[in-house]
Every structure is written in structure tokens, then in C-alpha cells.
A and B are shown apart, each in its own frame.
Chain A
Amino acid sequence: MNSIQKLFQRKDKNLLSIYFTCGFPELDNTTKVISELEKSGVDFIEVGLPYSDPLADGPTIQDSSQKALQNGINLDIVFEQLMSIKSSNNTPLVLMGYLNQMLKYGEDKFCQKVIDCGIDTVIIPDLPMVEFENHYQQLFDKYGITNVFLITPHTSEERIKKIDSYTKAFIYVVASASITGAKGEISTQQIAYFERIKAMNLKSKLIVGFGISDKQTFTTACSYANGAIIGSAFIKNLGKTGVNKIDNFITPIIS
């Protein structure tokens, strides 16, 4: 059983996940952000690997990634940081990065490091299903890593069913046809899409992300899924208030 499945055994409603960018706002903030998120009651954490060309991300995550790279972050430093909190952290971590980062680092070396850091779940938004089937499924299985697939309002039912069969952690339900970033509220069109997915009775747990920013959008998303992910809104807040007031952002959402 992977770390996310274990989490779902304890709790499978209203799960809050937070995405943050490693090395932002300061290079050495990674461990502090994780421990503060854990203290404030976040259920699992998406650890973002800053990338120079994050195609699926909106301006907030792009900017935080650029800042982190300017701060000197790189994969080796990220793995060191994650290793240093491995024994003290009890909140499941999910690694999110782009395929080229893994490719260049060396696929096997990357997977080994991920596992060494106590992480077993990854999200790679530009890893398409056909490449997963042809190569990465086998690679990940070898290391006991599970891949999270994204579905969108335009993903066909047939494809969703296939994704459901591959899923061992959760399905990432992209809330709208968009890149990451806050949109304000959830439209009736989006609700219809959430309802459609819910009605499919998939075996996998569903976590909604992209455009979730506050208590209201979080609560709405959670009524159709097992939980939701907040990214850009958290990063924006982190950029403004720094790492010491993280619970001020989290508490109003989960209380």
C-alpha cells in the first residue's frame, strides 16, 4: 500500500492538499514549509520541482519557479532537503515536476532518490498515457512509485476508465480547461463536469485541482470529490507573508 492509500484509509473526505514550489521564497524554505503545513493540518503535500518551462502552469507558479531557480535550487538540493525531514515528517508527500527533469537526471537515479526520500507518488503533467504504457509504468513499478494521472473536462469517458484502472493513489481532476491559477469561483459548467465524473463511480479516489483557492471553492470541490489541491493561491500568500504565517492561510480553509 502506498502512502496515499494509507492516508485514504484514515480519511477520505475533505482532504486538503497544498502545492508549493521548492526553494521559494527562499532557497532553504522547503523543510520549513513542509513542517508548517503539517502542523496546520494539511492532509498531503505536493512538492513542486521548479522548472524553467512549466507548460501547464499559470503565472504564479511560473514566477515562483523562476525565483526558486534564481535562488539556486536544483534537484540534488531538493532531494537533500527532503532527506533531512524524512524522519520527522509524517504527512504524505507527492512530487510534481516535468518529465525533462527526470529524463536529464537519469530515470533510474531519479526514481531511487524519490524512494530514498520516503516518497512513492509522482505527478508529471507532461507524461502522456501512451508513454506511461510503453515505458514508465514498468520503470515506476520497479521502484514502487505510483503515477497520478490528470483528467480534464475534455477527457473522454473511455480514457477516464483506463486512467482509473492505472490509478493507485488518486485521479487528479483538473477543474477546468486551464493552466494552474485562481479563477475566483466554480461555475455551473464545472459542477456539471464534477457530477459527471462522480456518477461514473470510479474505483479511484478523486482530488480536484487547478483554480481552487479558498474555503468556498475548496468546500464546493470536496462535495464532489475526496479532496482538493490548492497551489497558486498558497504560493501567492507565501510570497507575501513568508513561511511563518502558513497556518493563517490554512486554518480558515479547513475549519
Chain B
Amino acid sequence: MKSKFQPDKNGYFGQFGGAFIPELLYPNVKELEDNYIQIIESDEFQKEYKSLLKDYVGRPTPLYFAKSLSQKYGAHIYLKREDLNHTGAHKVNNTVGQILIAKKLGKTKIIAETGAGQHGVATATVCALMGLECTVFMGEIDIERQAPNVARMKMLGAKVVAATSGSKTLKDATNEAIRYWIQNPETFYLIGSVVGPHPHPDMVARLQAIISEEMKWQLKEKTGKENPDTIIACVGGGSNAAGAFYHYMEDEEVELVAVEAAGLGVNSGESAATSQLGEVGIIHGSKTILMQDEYGQIVEPYSISAGLDYPGVGPLHAYLYESKRATFLNATDKEALAAAYELTKIEGIIPALETAHALAVLPKMDLKENQVVVINLSGRGDKDLETYIKYLEK
């Protein structure tokens, strides 16, 4: 049975999605569209994918009962420890899967965009593993604020290309990756989130779905029930949230909470809370909710977190928002920093700045005593130490 949360034949989730691409990309996108489901569902792929996730990535990631956090907020809070994956975030689930798809399609050159550098590192890693050439596009500003990840990518043998147009962040890195792809159609664009033209959003969601697949049996073991009451995840493009929500989208009893980056405040003019500030539009080949001005010019977003600093959101999330299946909350820079410090102090886990946004909504939620809450701890904070240290000094 086809779920309403899966795209139709033209790649639409409700009114969102599609493939708004220049003609030059048509053959590439079509090739992927014609093959991705068949490849992903094949025994050969599943065997290789699952084996790499287990032995190379370190899955299953633990579902950790956060006792102190639970006490503090008066609920049963579990952390899905994606931060413990190889390379430090959920991003690698997707890159391991896509690199196998790329190989199956006979591609030898890989390109990727990256914001915080987590997807860039995860891509450079699997390219090193498979011996494939890797080029990562990264905004000039992000190259500065995520220096450790830039160094890691280089050490892994990737070429890091600075995107110097526009806001010099994730949006522009994606533009540059797409432009390079147009000029080098033989390359495989290993996209990092549930964004871009169909079938990319669906492909990435399927590869991240391992997160909620594990959550089901882990929760069953720990609580006796597969379903939690609430799942919370941060959303930039939305890949970790898509993975954490995936197997629960049909179960209306499970509350899905997506947390966007409010930057200096939703209405401050310096924000990346797309669902609150955006309207229907087209970005990176997909119809979705988009931050734009009255003439359709894309507005430059702002967040302290490079991974959430994106003016759009994946079409699946736009649909979850519009259909009210998910609740969209947001957290400011300040709230995210405070939440990162809190988790570090009481649980001994330093989260990524992106993940800290998901944690930051706990004080704003009306949690019940027996409420089972899973927070997708999408990444670790090593890459953000400089920012954290700066904040600590204040």
C-alpha cells in the first residue's frame, strides 16, 4: 500500500516536490529516478548497505535513556545516538547508501554540497572507502566557521571548493554543486539532505529511514511499545528528521516535532525558521516552502548553526507542515547554546549545534509525566567547539 507520505509519480508530496531542473540535468535525474527504488530494494544493495552500516558506521546506534534530562523535564526522554556514528552524525547513513547507488550506476566522480561540513566529511569518507574522486562545495563563510571539518575532508582526499556567491553558505554551496553537475553530467551528485529535485528527497529519506527502523525495536525492548509519544528532531533541509519520522508518519498517535533554527529570533530578520517565514516557491529543483521576498528572490537565512542555515526545507517536511502531521517549533541561537551546555553538563554528551536546537524545545513543551519522548541526537559537537568556547567565555 502506498503511503500518502511517499511521492507520487512526478515526485510530489501533496503540492510539494517535483523536479524543476534545467534540461541539461534531465538525463541524470531520469537515470536515477528509473533506478533508485529497484537498487535500494535489491537484496544485493540491502546486504552491502546493512553490512557497511553495521561494521563501518557502527550501527545500530544506541537508544539511550537520558535519566537526568528526564528528571529535569518530567518525562521519559530517550536520545537516539546518531552522534555515535562514524564521522559523528546521521549524514553517513545516506552517504553509504548513495555511494553504493553511484557505484551501481557506474559513476566514478562524486560531488556534494555541505553546510556544517558533516555531509561533506561523510561523503569524503565513503569516497575514500570506495576509491572514488570527491569534490565538495562549501560556502566561504561555512569554511571559516567549520574549519575542523574542512581539514578532515582534505585529509580524506576530497577537493573542497569555496562557494563565493550569494550568502556564501549552504544555499550557495548547493547552487554551485548543481552548476558543476550541469557542466559535468557524468558526475554523481551525492546530495546531503531530503532536498533537491525528485527523486533525491525520497531517496535520502529512504536511506535515513534506518534511524526510525531501529527506534521501533529499541523502544519495544525498553518500553514494551514500538511507538513513542513524541519524536523531536531539528530541521534544516530535514534529513535527520525524515529518518527519525519515517516509519512513524502513518501512525498519527506519534507526535512529530520538527525544530527549525530561529537565529536571533523568528521575526528578527536574522532567522532560518522556514515554515514560519516562508511561502510556496522553488529552490534547488523542488517546490517547497521557501524564504523569499515579494518578487520571489530567495532571502538569505541566518543561523549560528551552519547545518540549519538554509532558506528552504525538504518537500516532505513542507507537506508534513501543511498537513499539520508534524508540529514545527523553533529555537534561537541562544536557546540552542544553552541546551547544548545543559546536555553536556547533565548527561556528558556534547551535541552538534544543529542537534542542540532539537534539545532546546524541551522547556517549551508541555510534557506529561509518562510521556515517552525520543530526541534524535543527530550529531556530535566536536566541530562546534570553537563556537562553544566563545560562548563559554561570555
Q: Which residues of A contact B (CB under 8 A)?
A: 51-53, 55-56, 58-59, 62, 66, 69, 74-76, 98-105, 125-128, 130-131, 134, 149-152, 154-156, 159, 174, 177-179
1/0 contact string of B126-167 vs chain A (CB within 8 Å): 000000000000000000000000000000000000000110
A100 touches B166 (CB 8 A): no
B22 touches A55 (CB 8 A): yes
Within B294-344, the residues touching A (CB, 8 Å) are 294-298
Selected interface stretch from B100-108, B276-284, B349-357 = B276-284
A55 touches B10 (CB 8 A): no
Which residues in A have their C-beta under 8 angstroms from that of B282? 98-100, 103, 126
A-B pairs with beta carbons under 8 Å apart, 30 shown: A52-B298, A53-B298, A55-B22, A55-B175, A58-B179, A74-B295, A99-B282, A100-B298, A103-B281, A103-B282, A104-B279, A104-B281, A104-B292, A128-B19, A128-B20, A128-B23, A130-B19, A149-B23, A150-B23, A150-B24, A151-B23, A154-B185, A155-B26, A156-B27, A159-B26, A174-B24, A177-B182, A177-B184, A179-B182, A179-B183
What's the least CB distance linking A84 to chain B, in Å? 19
B283 touches A53 (CB 8 A): yes
B20 touches A127 (CB 8 A): yes
What's the least CB distance linking B360 to chain A, in Å? 30
Q: How far is the CA of A92 from the CA of B351 in the complex (A)?
A: 59
Interface size on B, residues (CB 8 A): 34
Q: Which residues of B contact A (CB under 8 A)?
A: 10, 18-24, 26-27, 165-166, 171, 175, 178-179, 182-185, 279-285, 290, 292, 294-298
Q: How far is the CA of A52 from the CA of B302 in the complex (A)?
A: 16
What's the least CB distance linking B25 to chain A, in Å? 9
What's the least CB distance linking A18 to chain B, in Å? 21
Q: How far is the CA of A55 from the CA of B197 in the complex (A)?
A: 13
Name which residue of chain A comes closest to B179, CB basis.
Answer: A179
Which residues in B have their C-beta under 8 angstroms from that of A174? 23-24
Give the tally of cross-chain contacts (CB within 8 A).
Answer: 105
Q: How far is the CA of A51 from the CA of B283 in the complex (A)?
A: 12
Q: How far is the CA of A126 from the CA of B24 in the complex (A)?
A: 10
Partner of A178, one of B183, B284, B292: B183
Which residues in A have their C-beta under 8 angstroms from that of B296? 51, 98, 100-105
Residue in A100, A131, A149 with the greatest tally of chain B CB atoms within 10 Å: A100
Q: How far is the CA of A54 from the CA of B20 in the complex (A)?
A: 13
Which residues in A have their C-beta under 8 angstroms from that of B185? 154, 177
Which residues in B have their C-beta under 8 angstroms from that of A150? 22-24
B294 touches A104 (CB 8 A): yes
Name which residue of chain B comes closest to A51, CB basis.
Answer: B297
Which residues in B have their C-beta under 8 angstroms from that of A101? 295-297
Which residues in A have their C-beta under 8 angstroms from that of B178? 55
What's the least CB distance linking A13 to chain B, in Å? 25
Q: How far is the CA of A198 from the CA of B282 in the complex (A)?
A: 34
With known contacts A55-B175, A56-B182, A179-B179, A126–B285 Cβ distance under 8 A: yes
Partner of A154, one of B27, B279, B281, B297: B27
User: Nearest 5 CB-CB pairs, A to B?
Assistant: A104-B296, A52-B297, A100-B282, A100-B296, A101-B296
